[in-house]
């Protein structure tokens, strides 16, 4: 009995490790952000238009704009394809094709982000440069690659949502003489909507957080882009670019950027939780 | 007629979307494999890089990646599976469950570069662990734990209740039931989660770029600095050091990830057949 007791307490303490480490993460991010919050104020930091570490000016609005625009564009490119593919796999594909796609989606999700960045650098950048305007390092280049990167996340989570639509809902609709498309549009998609929204939120999280693939493609010019063929800079790529040599208040400014990113993820996940008051399984 | 033609068009589009997804994967993978195969030879795989990677091979990078994988497996698997085990089998406190689940979902979505910064501030500057593969591995473990936890918890909770009841009914203790019935039944699910998390850790560059010291030397211990394959590819490509070696590194990376995915799928399906699931 003592052995059982020790095992239970041991397993319990493992959970506290997770809580302690994540609390430490928040504490360290906030602690390193304090100098910026005290000296600049969080409002000026977030809404400031200029980022000039040499002159101790730190405003991240252009990078927030960069992150939001690139994420938005990648969603526009990714969502129609991803949701159609999820419908294909759950509703149309025969079981052997469905089985074949499982490792395909896994592999798409497993390809290192640096490989996606490298593919973008050697294929998409010249493609954009030669067929459109600019250097090829642009918002659209990064968005195309990000769209591919979030594809597996959105497909697999929406697939789970579509799978969980009760069979009798569909049968009732078929029984009334609906075509398959009418069943999909009127029954399956509305019922699976919360799950599909969850999938999109997870996609947003992945797109906002992606660092090196974006850094390799977006040109990293710190302006608010006015066209999709212009370069931009994102919150994550800025951290990765400058952390190597940042000291003093510049170092703190990068940590504050990370804190902003962390806060964005907390907000996204909270939205996700509100949408899905759910049991085990469905990962937010 | 109108309804029928819409049905035809949409049905075609859904099939097309599946084909496009497949094509995207095929294009990326075959592009890297075809472009990279030329750089692959024994010298490339078994020597140190020369002249910051313009010449020479990638052995130190392969070793660095393996060291990182070893640290991550050693820390993240027991912690991830252990906390899932507690949640699924022991915990009766609903609040704790909600807290842990929210934390793990947030951690699973936090950008990897943020983990990297935390590692820099906490491990390197606060605990003074030094730039090393160990520091990188610890942060990768923290990143991998939530995924292992989430997938394992689902697998453990889907073990049928009557399996457990049968076990307890025979007078077994909780731990005996866990090791003899619950873990083996949930094993394929847990294994899937572990593979998923470790593949991500293996592929990660941003989280470790400011922790591992990014040296080109051969690592001989966990306390040495090193540079994992993804980070090497990033440096080679982004700084335009050598496109040929970048293609070669990309080939090795993608070949390893493909092998892990195919092999683990194979093992899982064999195990599931054996178990009769």
DSSP code per residue over A255-279: HHHHHHHHHHHHHHHHHHHHH----
For residue range A75-118, list pLDDT tens digits in order: 999 999 999 999 999 999 999 999 889 889 989 999 999 999 99
Task: Check pLDDT > 90 for residue A35.
Answer: yes
Cβ-defined contact of A272 to B105 (cutoff 8 Å): yes
Name the closest residue on chain A to residue B266, using Cα atoms.
A103
If one compares A179 and B1, the residue with the highest pLDDT of the two is A179
Residue B58 sits at the chain A interface (C-beta within 8 Å): no
For B21, the closest of A81, A112, A243 (CB atoms) is: A81
* Nearest Cα to Cα of residue B101 among B32, B147, B150, B35: B150
Q: What mean pLDDT is predicted for residues A142-165?
A: 95
For residue range A220-276, list pLDDT tens digits in order: 999 999 999 999 999 999 999 999 899 999 999 999 999 999 999 999 999 988 887
**Taking CB atoms and an 8 Å cutoff, what residues of chain A touch B114?**
29, 209, 239, 258, 261-262
Task: Check pLDDT > 90 for residue A155.
Answer: yes
Helix (H, G, I), strand (E, B) or coil at B225: coil
Cβ-defined contact of B154 to A111 (cutoff 8 Å): no
**Taking CB atoms and an 8 Å cutoff, what residues of chain B touch A205?**
109
Predicted pLDDT of residue B2: 82
Supply angle C-alpha B45, B48, B53, rounded to 5.
95
The interface pTM score, or ipTM, of the predicted complex is 0.93
- The nearest CA of chain A is from the CA of B101 a distance in Å of 9
Beta-bridge mates of residue B226 = B213
Predicted pLDDT of residue A102: 87
- Homologous superfamily (CATH) of A40-283 is MetI-like (1.10.3720.10)
Name the closest residue on chain A to residue B214, using Cα atoms.
A244
- What does the alpha-carbon distance between residue A135 and residue B158 come to, in Å, rounded to a whole number? 52
| Cβ partners under 8 Å of residue B158, min gap 6 | B186, B189
Name the closest residue on chain B to residue A178, using Cα atoms.
B3
- What does the alpha-carbon distance between residue B147 and residue B135 come to, in Å, rounded to a whole number? 20
Predicted pLDDT of residue B151: 93
Placement of tokens 């923290």 in the chain: B142
Give me chain A's average pLDDT, please: 93
For A114, the closest of B15, B31, B234 (CB atoms) is: B234
Q: How confident is the model at residue A282 (pLDDT cuts 50, 70, 90)?
A: low
Predicted pLDDT of residue A283: 61
- What does the alpha-carbon distance between residue B59 and residue B78 come to, in Å, rounded to a whole number? 29
Q: What is the largest CA-CA distance in chain B?
A: 73
The per-residue pLDDT string of chain B (277 residues; one tens digit each, 9 = 90 and over) reads 588 899 999 999 999 999 999 999 999 999 999 999 999 999 999 999 998 889 999 999 999 999 999 999 999 999 999 999 999 999 988 899 889 989 999 999 999 999 999 999 999 999 999 999 999 999 999 999 999 999 999 999 999 999 988 998 988 888 999 999 999 999 999 999 999 999 999 999 999 999 999 889 999 999 999 999 999 999 999 999 999 999 999 999 999 999 999 999 899 988 888 876 5
- What does the alpha-carbon distance between residue A173 and residue B237 come to, in Å, rounded to a whole number? 54
Cβ-defined contact of B121 to A32 (cutoff 8 Å): yes
Task: Check pLDDT > 50 for residue A280.
Answer: no
Placement of tokens 């405003």 in the chain: A59
Q: How confident is the model at residue A278 (pLDDT cuts 50, 70, 90)?
A: low
Residue B12 sits at the chain A interface (C-beta within 8 Å): no
Cβ-defined contact of A239 to B10 (cutoff 8 Å): no
Considering only residues 255 to 274 of chain A, which have any Cβ-Cβ distance to chain B shorter than 8 Å? 255, 258, 261-262, 265-266, 268-269, 272-273
Predicted pLDDT of residue B1: 59
Predicted pLDDT of residue A134: 87
Residue A239 sits at the chain B interface (C-beta within 8 Å): yes
Q: What mean pLDDT is predicted for residues A143-161?
A: 95
For A88, the closest of B18, B78, B113 (CB atoms) is: B18
Cβ-defined contact of A14 to B15 (cutoff 8 Å): no
Predicted pLDDT of residue B214: 85
For B175, the closest of A7, A22, A89 (CB atoms) is: A7
Q: Which residue of A22, A234, A238, A272 to mutate against B (max B Cβ within 10 Å)?
A: A22
- What does the alpha-carbon distance between residue A264 and residue B106 come to, in Å, rounded to a whole number? 10
- What does the alpha-carbon distance between residue B61 and residue B64 come to, in Å, rounded to a whole number? 5
| Contact between residue B167 and residue B183 where contact means Cβ atoms under 8 Å apart | no
DSSP E strands in chain B: the ranges are 49-50, 55-56
Name the closest residue on chain B to residue A102, using Cα atoms.
B265
- The nearest CA of chain A is from the CA of B220 a distance in Å of 25
Task: Check pLDDT > 70 for residue A284.
Answer: no
* Nearest Cα to Cα of residue A143 among A84, A87, A76, A205: A76
Predicted pLDDT of residue B171: 87
- The nearest CA of chain A is from the CA of B47 a distance in Å of 22
* Nearest Cα to Cα of residue B119 among A243, A208, A221, A249: A243
Residue A91 sits at the chain B interface (C-beta within 8 Å): yes
Give the DSSP per-residue string, B164-178: HHHHHHTT--HHHHI
H/E/C letters for each residue in B125-189? HHCCCCCCHHHHHHHHHHHHHHHHHHHHHHHHHCCCHHHHHHHHHCCCCHHHHHHHHHHHHHHHH
Considering only residues 65 to 84 of chain B, which have any Cβ-Cβ distance to chain A shorter than 8 Å? 78-79, 82-83
Centroid of chain to Cα A191: 24
Q: How much of chain A exceeds pLDDT 70, in percent?
A: 97
Predicted pLDDT of residue A66: 96
Full-model pTM: 0.93
CA distances to A186, A229, B111, B231, B252 from A118, in Å:
41, 19, 19, 12, 14
Give the DSSP per-residue string, A203-231: HHHHHHH--HHHHHHSB---S--SSTTS-
Helix (H, G, I), strand (E, B) or coil at A7: helix
- What does the alpha-carbon distance between residue A87 and residue A162 come to, in Å, rounded to a whole number? 7
Give the DSSP per-residue string, A39-92: HT-HHHHHH---EEGGGTEE--HHHHHHHHHHHHHHHHHHHHHHHHHHHIIIII
Helix (H, G, I), strand (E, B) or coil at A232: strand
Residue B42 sits at the chain A interface (C-beta within 8 Å): no
Q: Indicate the DSSP class of residue B101.
A: H
For residue range A45-69, list pLDDT tens digits in order: 999 999 999 999 999 999 999 999 9
Q: Which residue of A1, A7, A11 to mutate against B (max B Cβ within 10 Å)?
A: A11
Residue A116 sits at the chain B interface (C-beta within 8 Å): yes
Q: Where are the domains of chain A?
A: 40-283
């Amino acid at each position: 009995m003592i052995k059982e007791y020790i095992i239970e307490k041991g397993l319990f303490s493992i959970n506290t490790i997770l809580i302690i480490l994540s609390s430490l993460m928040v504490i360290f991010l906030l602690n390193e952000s304090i100098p910026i919050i005290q000296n600049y104020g969080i409002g000026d930091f977030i809404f400031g238009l200029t980022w000039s570490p040499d002159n101790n000016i730190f405003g991240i609005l252009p990078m927030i704009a960069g992150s939001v625009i690139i994420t938005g564009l990648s969603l526009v490119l990714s969502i129609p394809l991803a949701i159609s593919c999820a419908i294909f796999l759950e509703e149309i594909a025969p079981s052997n094709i469905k089985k074949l796609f499982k490792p395909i989606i896994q592999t798409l999700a497993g390809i290192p982000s640096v490989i996606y960045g490298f593919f973008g650098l050697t294929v998409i950048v010249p493609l954009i440069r030669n067929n459109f305007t600019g250097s090829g390092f642009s918002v659209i280049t990064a968005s195309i690659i990000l769209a591919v990167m979030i594809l597996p996340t959105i497909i697999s989570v929406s697939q789970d949502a579509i799978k969980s639509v009760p069979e009798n809902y569909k049968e009732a609709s078929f029984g009334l003489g609906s075509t398959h498309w009418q069943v999909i549009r009127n029954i399956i998609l509305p019922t699976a909507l919360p799950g599909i929204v969850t999938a999109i939120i997870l996609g947003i999280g992945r797109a906002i957080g992606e660092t090196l693939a974006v850094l390799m493609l977006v040109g990293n010019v710190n302006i608010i882009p006015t066209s999709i063929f212009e370069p931009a800079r994102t919150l994550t790529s800025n951290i990765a670019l400058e952390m190597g040599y940042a000291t003093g208040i510049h170092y703190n400014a990068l940590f504050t950027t990370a804190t902003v990113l962390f806060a964005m993820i907390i907000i996204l996940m909270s939205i996700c939780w509100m949408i899905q008051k759910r049991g085990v399984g469905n990962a937010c | 007629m109108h309804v029928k033609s819409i049905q035809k068009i949409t049905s075609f589009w859904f099939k097309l979307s599946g084909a496009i997804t497949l094509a995207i994967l095929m294009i990326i993978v075959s592009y890297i494999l075809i472009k990279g195969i030329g750089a692959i030879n024994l010298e490339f795989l078994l020597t140190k890089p020369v002249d910051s990677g313009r010449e020479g091979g990638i052995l130190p990078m392969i070793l660095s990646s393996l060291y990182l994988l070893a640290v991550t497996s050693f820390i993240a698997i027991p912690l991830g599976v252990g906390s899932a085990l507690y949640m699924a089998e022991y915990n009766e406190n609903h609040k704790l469950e909600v807290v842990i689940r929210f934390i793990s979902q947030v951690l699973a979505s936090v950008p990897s570069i943020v983990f990297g910064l935390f590692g820099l501030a906490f491990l390197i500057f606060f605990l003074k662990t030094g730039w090393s593969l160990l520091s990188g591995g610890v942060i990768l473990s923290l990143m991998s734990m939530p995924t292992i936890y989430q997938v394992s918890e689902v697998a453990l909770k889907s073990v049928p209740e009557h399996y457990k009841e049968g076990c307890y009914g025979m007078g077994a203790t909780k731990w005996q039931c866990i090791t003899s019935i619950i873990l083996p039944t949930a094993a394929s699910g847990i294994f899937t989660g572990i593979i998923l998390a470790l593949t991500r850790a293996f592929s990660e560059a941003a989280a470790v770029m400011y922790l591992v010291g990014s040296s080109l030397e051969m690592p001989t211990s966990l306390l040495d600095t090193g540079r994992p394959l993804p980070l090497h590819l990033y440096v080679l490509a982004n700084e335009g050091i050598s496109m040929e070696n970048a293609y070669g590194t990309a080939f090795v990376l993608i070949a390893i990830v493909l092998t892990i995915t195919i092999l683990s799928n194979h093992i899982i399906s064999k195990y599931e057949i054996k178990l009769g699931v």
